[in-house]
Amino acid sequence: MKNILLALLLVSLVSCTTKPTLQKYFVENSESSDFIQVDLASSFINTDKLSLSSEEKEALNSFDKLNILAFKNDSLDPSKLGKEATEVKNILKDGNYEQLMKFGNSKQGASVYMLGNEDKIDEFVLYGSEASGFVVARVLGDNMTPNTVLNLIEVIKKADLDMEQLKPLKDALIKK
């Protein structure tokens, strides 16, 4: 009996994952002075004055929130940018996220990832970097598909965005 309990305990300890996730990374770094973190609710997209198609309404209803985490390079510790960027890239390359597209050059670039499958996307991740820092944005929602995300982008283009919710990010990135 003792051996069975020991085996169960060992299996449960081994099965507990300590693998880093993007969500854990956001939580661990959201209070750090090296990062700027902004959460945008769906109310960020004001569509009161728009006439939306049924597909656009569906896309808007599937969107819950947008989490943004940005790292601005500190000239006092320039190696920190490389360390943090590598950590994010490793999380995105761990096998759970599927890279949908990548563009840019050696000095700046962006990538788009998804977590889930084509029928039910749990989150879209946008990662952009340049010499001055990087930004990671998580688009979270329910019943998202590639089509709903494309429709959401169209809604955002037409909508009146509440830029006040982006003010902390803008202020932090503009500071010298």
pLDDT digits (tens, 9 = 90+) for 15-74: 555 788 999 999 999 888 889 898 988 887 888 888 888 898 888 888 889 999 999 887
Return the C-alpha torsion angle 52, 55, 61, 62, nearest 10. Answer: -150
Distance CA 90, CA 176 (A): 30
pLDDT digits (tens, 9 = 90+) for 107-141: 889 999 999 888 888 899 999 999 888 999 999 98
pLDDT digits (tens, 9 = 90+) for 136-175: 999 998 888 888 888 888 888 888 777 777 777 666 666 5
**Is the Cα dihedral 136, 141, 145, 150 positive or negative?**
negative
What's the pTM?
0.79
- All structural domains of the chain with their residue ranges: 19-174
Give the pLDDT of residue 11: 52
- Coil, helix or strand at residue 81: helix
